[in-house]
Amino acid sequence: MIGEALAVACADRAVLARLGGALGDGARRGQHELAAATSSERRTVRAKLVAAVRAPIPPGIRGVDPSWIEAGLAGLPERARRALAAGPRDPIDVWLVRRACAELPPLPALDARDAAPRELADAIRCRADVLARWLVELGADQLALAVRGAGPDATRQVAARLGADGARLLAAAVRIDRPPRAGALGPPRAAIARCRELPDRDPLARIGARALAPHVDAVAARQLVVRLPRPRGLAILGELVAHARTPLDHAPAWAALAAAW
């Protein structure tokens, strides 16, 4: 939706061509669709975007984990909760709802499938459980690549440290030598750097976020994390922000990120 809004607001192809990440892709896709649309269809798109911008409740809020909504409501009067549940009825309700939803981005509809996302737009639509599993599997691939040079004993030792996630690492150690992961997970040295400081909590998901970070812009990062419980989402967001400037040639290719688990 943000990409569509940019396409409506800016007709200059050269300007939109300078936008990077999913935001730029969405804007250019929106511009292409607008160019092919009839004048009536373009008016409909503009009306939809204006309505979405004016709406105090962000689109797709049903896909947000409730813990984010509770955090937004903290410190606000009970009226804010009622207005959010039933819809605001007056300007005061509108202000309260917008205050409660201030850190929530607009979201597309959820995708009910269990498959790994094929592109970033799919990831943003993932259910929380699918997104969490995807990040964990990405982290397992990176950790398997990082320790492979030290031999199978090292892999087994690290797997033992991971407890319940150890089986994921052992499975990853086998699959990283097969297409589409083989040769597409980034340089081993980059994987080692991502895994050098192994987090005590949620290590595989956080390593996965580090690997994903160069592919994700700031808007998409927040869209991803609000699907997850807020404490976990904030930890993942921290990794996405901290590693966003990693060169793309040091990160896994999308073919590897989108590989089935």
Rg of the Cα trace of the chain?
A: 21
Q: Phi and psi for 202 in degrees, rounded to 5?
A: 55, 50
For residue 245, what pLDDT is reported? 95
For residue 261, what pLDDT is reported? 78
Q: How far is CA 34 from CA 10, 20, 25, 28, in A?
A: 11, 20, 14, 10
Q: What is the pLDDT of residues 148-161, one digit of tens each?
A: 989 889 999 999 99
Q: How far is CA 19 from CA 2, 60, 221, in A?
A: 12, 24, 16
First to last CA, the chain: 30
Question: Does residue 203 have a pLDDT over 60?
Answer: yes
Q: What is the pLDDT of residues 18-33, one digit of tens each?
A: 777 666 776 677 667 7
Its pTM stands at: 0.81
Residues across the chain? 261
Question: Does residue 260 have a pLDDT over 90?
Answer: no
For residue 151, what pLDDT is reported? 87
Q: What is the pLDDT of residues 68-95, one digit of tens each?
A: 999 999 999 999 999 999 999 999 999 9
Closest CA to 228 of 112, 84, 68: 68
Instruction: Report the chain's mean pLDDT, rounded to a whole number.
Output: 89
Which residues share a beta bridge with 182? none
Q: What is the pLDDT of residues 206-256, one digit of tens each?
A: 999 999 999 999 989 999 999 999 999 999 999 999 999 999 999 999 999
- Which residues does 97 contact at the CB level (< 8 Å), separation at least 6? 56, 57, 80, 83, 84, 88
DSSP-based three-state secondary structure for 260: coil
Question: Does residue 180 have a pLDDT over 80?
Answer: yes
